[in-house]
Amino acid sequence: MRDTAANETGERGSRSASLSAVERSAADPPAAVAENIVAIEYEALLLGKRINRVAGFRGSRLGMLDRSAYILLVSLEDRPMSIGELSEITGLDASTLNRQTAAMRRQNMIERIPDPDGGMARKFTLTQEGEHSLAQQRKRNLGALSTVLADWSPDEISQFAAALTRFNRAVQSLATRIDRTNNDH
């Protein structure tokens, strides 16, 4: 881990020239914090890789959703959305979303409907098959997470949930600022 920390610190310096002033001020934390930031980056990388395996996001088994389909179904769970709205929520570009929604329409997971509010854009909504697939995948996900957290105390789970929520909100906030900066240029 120390070799990784030294390597990451060296790389951080070369990347800081491409960061905005906001990111640059946070890019060089005190040494006491830097090692933990490197550990968080590494653990987040592993988490992304492992959680997909544990939750079954491989698409190789019957009834399993791939990760991109799951994200879209979750996004559409509460209300119908247009490609533009899905793009804002997922951070994906319209061409990627057009491909993904076309594939999901072929699988009868989602359908296009007129805007319920009378707008011009057509929207996507879940079909019964999509709702069922989402419920099944969520059940697998929650079961896997329950197994992982089985020996954690309720307080540890609560603290982890709060910290992870805070972390994700901070990541989203930075992503939004970066998107705005990129769109301004």
Q: If pLDDT is split at 50, 70 and 90, which confidence band does 2 have? A: very low
**CATH (domain of 97):** 1.10.10.10
Give the mean pLDDT of the chain.
Answer: 82
| Together in a domain, 176 and 120 | no
The two structure tokens encoding residue 115: 């805007």
Which residues, at least 6 apart from 35, have a Cβ–Cβ distance to it below 8 Å?
Answer: 5
pLDDT tens across 23-41, in order?
555 667 788 788 888 999 9
Q: Both 114 and 158 in a single domain?
A: no
pLDDT at 3 over 60: no
Q: What's the pLDDT at 7?
A: 40
Is residue 96 one of the residues assigned to a domain? Answer: yes
Residue 42 within a domain: no
Q: Alpha-carbon distance 168 to 178, whole Å?
A: 15
- Does one domain contain both 81 and 121? yes
Residue span of the structural domain in which 175 resides: 152-185
Do 81 and 133 fall into the same domain?
Answer: yes
Summarize pLDDT for 84-127 with one digit per residue, the tens.
Answer: 999 988 888 999 999 999 999 999 999 999 988 888 889 999 99
Looking at the 3D structure of the chain, how many domains does it have? 2
Q: What is the pLDDT of residues 136-160, one digit of tens each?
A: 999 988 998 999 999 999 999 999 9
Residues 7, 9, 14, 18: what is their CA dihedral angle, to the nearest 10 degrees? Answer: 130
Residue 43 within a domain: no
Of 145, 129, 137, 127, residue with least CA distance to 67:
137
Beta bridge partners of 111: 125
Look at residue 82 in the predicted model and tell me its pLDDT.
95
- Side-chain half-sphere CA neighbours of 95 within 13 A: 0
Which residue type is seen at 23?
E
* 108 and 134 co-located in one domain: yes
pLDDT for 59 equals 52
The answer to whether position 70 is within a domain reads yes
Share of the chain above pLDDT 90, in %: 48
- Buried b or exposed e, range 30-46, using 16+ CB within 10 angstroms: eeeeebebbeeeeeeee
Q: Is the pLDDT of residue 62 over 60?
A: no
- In a shared domain, residues 110 and 177: no
Higher pLDDT, 123 or 48: 123
Going by DSSP bridges, is the β-strand pair 110-113/123-126 parallel, antiparallel, or unpaired?
antiparallel
Assess whether 121 and 71 both reside in one domain. yes
Distance between CA atoms of residues 103 and 118, nearest Å: 26
147 in the same domain as 101: yes
